[in-house]
Structure 1
């Protein structure tokens, strides 16, 4: 059973509307969990001033931190009044994603919650947004929150990968569905599965005159449908809630999410480092921009963050 008992919320310092905090507190109230609102701040101007002594610089830093702590204390007051266990923390750090992940690991949090909005694709290549760092490097599940509400009796969509038979993919599929079912039980939601399968490679159809593209396509489709239905049966999910479509996952997932009006999409994400991390190619990253609902990204078992000691 996936249990979110300790939730860490990343606060947006530029906004008075904190959708992630609201979502985390909603989850916490249904799960008797605690919430920590976390803010990582840094102001280069305080670091650069050579006129200031170290002590003065430290005093200014503390001043800013205390201002922000007062702001957070006000923000969480209404949730306290509802009986939700909410704490807050403010740190000074020049790389927000690092301070968030380190704090999450040290505090043994179960879920990381952050508000998100559409990224400008061009800027995103040069300045990787914090969201993407968290998706790639946070060892715990990351819930990216948009404005859409979570109604009771809603729908949770699990993106599963059945193309490969390897153990890691199979166990990740299971983990995704278990997270979905744990949340579904709290919100009385319905769990759906989605899977995109590749169409016929054009070069095959051209190079082999006898190649029957239709039969090839049907075979691939049936194979994917069988595997998804098998997975659904294992977890007691109705086969009518399985959506298998031709296309890339990053196109199929948002399409199905919109069609069934899902409030949450859950998918697996593989941590990426080095050159591949610099390329926008991860399904999770494409999907964030195209779905109009929350996204929960789950890491495979045994994943270790590059920021863990």
Structure 2
């Protein structure tokens, strides 16, 4: 698998050994460079009032230097890997600084631990959620308890949409999931939820018999879209187990992920509608809070991060 050239691993304050190990392994597989990054809080400007002899900027640099030394110590065991490694310690908001580094260094993959606290917000914390919404490159969020290779990789796609943007995103999701499954010698599963627009109100107005016929036609259309996306023989070297269900995307995705005990889910975020669009807003929070596996999220082609847009103003 040689899909990434510049990988960034965010360490942060949590236990990030799983993310660091995965990042180094991916860098070796992809012959990629690796940036190890941490972000610390800015020193309050009022600190000079406590000790007039010490400038806030001086204290800030001391903290940066200490964090750099800490990162160097953690990287000692990877000294023989021959992976080009750069250390970056920034100050400010973690998600914003990570995205700025992504844009500055043309990073094509961010890896970090899922930073949620069980019982206090679910699987993914605030930094992870911000990256999923705003980071222009793929974001790989790892569950610390999932070690070693992945046994089951799940690709979530949107077959209801027929525009070019969604179709390309679907292909990108499947290609990336396949690449990872092959690399990990894992089972590859594909989940797609489909439905008839305004099915409930239509049943009240038109009756079940008519709407059932419409649902059948929609199912045939979705199945045809899937056959076009995965033509016979295209992935014969790695059999895909398909889960095509009629229902709410968020419920279908979570149910299939739990049923197959997925280790990693590959999906798209920030599109206009369908499964990908459902991953923005309240539905996204529901999925992120209850998902029990690691996630690799990718953006559609041409996505502009709000951080990037702000930087251009």
TM band (smaller chain): 0.7 to 0.9
The offset of 1:50, in angstroms, is: 4.5
**Alignment partners' CA distance in 2, 1:210 and 1:267:** 33
Change over 3 Å in CA distance of 1:121–1:237 after alignment to 2: farther
1:229 corresponds to: 227
Which is further off, 258-267 or 156-165?
258-267
1:103-118 map, 5 Å: 103-118=101-116
Q: What is the SS of the residue equivalent to 1:87? A: strand
1:7 aligns with 2:4: no
1:36 corresponds to: 35
Change over 3 Å in CA distance of 1:210–1:87 after alignment to 2: closer
Q: Give the alignment partner of residue 174 of structure 1, picking from 171, 174, 191.
A: 171
The offset of 1:186, in angstroms, is: 2.3
**Alignment partners' CA distance in 1, 2:303 and 2:233:** 24
The alignment's TM-score, normalised by the length of structure 1, stands at 0.84
Change over 3 Å in CA distance of 1:81–1:157 after alignment to 2: same
Q: Do 1:195 and 1:228's aligned partners in 2 also have CA atoms closer than 8 Å?
A: no
**Alignment partners' CA distance in 2, 1:234 and 1:281:** 37
**Alignment partners' CA distance in 2, 1:116 and 1:209:** 46
The alignment's TM-score, normalised by the length of structure 2, stands at 0.83
CA-to-partner distance for each residue in 1:101-142, whole Å, 9 max, x for gaps? 111111111101111144689979xxx812122111111111
1:27 aligns with 2:42: no
2:184 corresponds to: 187
Which is further off, 181-190 or 251-260?
181-190
2:267 corresponds to: 267
1:121-270 map, 5 Å: 129-147=126-144, 148-151=146-149, 154-198=151-195, 201-209=199-207, 211-233=209-231, 236-237=234-235, 241-270=241-270
Ranges in structure 2 where 5+ consecutive residues have no aligned partner: none
Which is further off, 234-243 or 101-110?
234-243
**Alignment partners' CA distance in 1, 2:201 and 2:119:** 30
**Alignment partners' CA distance in 2, 1:135 and 1:240:** 26
**Alignment partners' CA distance in 1, 2:79 and 2:45:** 35
- How many equivalent pairs are there? 297
1:60 corresponds to: 59
**Alignment partners' CA distance in 1, 2:119 and 2:304:** 28
Q: What is the SS of the residue equivalent to 1:307? A: helix
Q: What is the SS of the residue equivalent to 2:132? A: helix
Q: Do 2:115 and 2:127's aligned partners in 1 also have CA atoms closer than 8 Å?
A: no
**Alignment partners' CA distance in 2, 1:105 and 1:19:** 25
Change over 3 Å in CA distance of 1:251–1:48 after alignment to 2: farther
**Alignment partners' CA distance in 2, 1:253 and 1:243:** 10
**Alignment partners' CA distance in 2, 1:71 and 1:282:** 38
